[in-house]
Structure 1
Amino acid sequence: MPQMAPISWLTLFIMFSLILLIFNFVNYFIFLPTAPKSSHTQILSPTMNWKW
């Protein structure tokens, strides 16, 4: 069985690396986060009532 030439391994590595990068970029930029619906509610913090 003949062995693959090193240049062939290099082209395979570059091809699969580019496919991986393109796949990750597409997955990252296709995600559209929805903005949280804020109804201008004020965050109420509990008041500290120290009895001492």
Structure 2
Amino acid sequence: MPQMAPLLWLNLFFMFIISLILFLSFNYFIKPFNKMDFSDSYLYKPEKHWKW
């Protein structure tokens, strides 16, 4: 039935918009895991007691 085709595309469009909004909002509110930083600041550095 060709008369129902616009309603089908409208339904698909709204489903796409709702899923896009959900995807973007979940990506905004759910933060990624913090990556561990293995830079030189975490390595052991002996303190020089004579230098205050």
- TM-score between both structures, scaled by the size of structure 1: 0.57
- Alignment root-mean-square deviation, CA: 2.7
Identity of aligned residues (%): 10
Unpaired runs of 5+ in structure 2?
45-52
The alignment covers a number of residue pairs equal to 39
Name the one with the larger helix percent. Answer: 2
Unaligned 5+ runs, structure 1: 44-52
Question: After TM superposition, what 4+ stretches of structure 1 lie above 4 angstroms from structure 2?
Answer: 33-38
Note the C-alpha offset of 1:6: 0.1
Structure 1 position 41, deviation (Å): 1.7
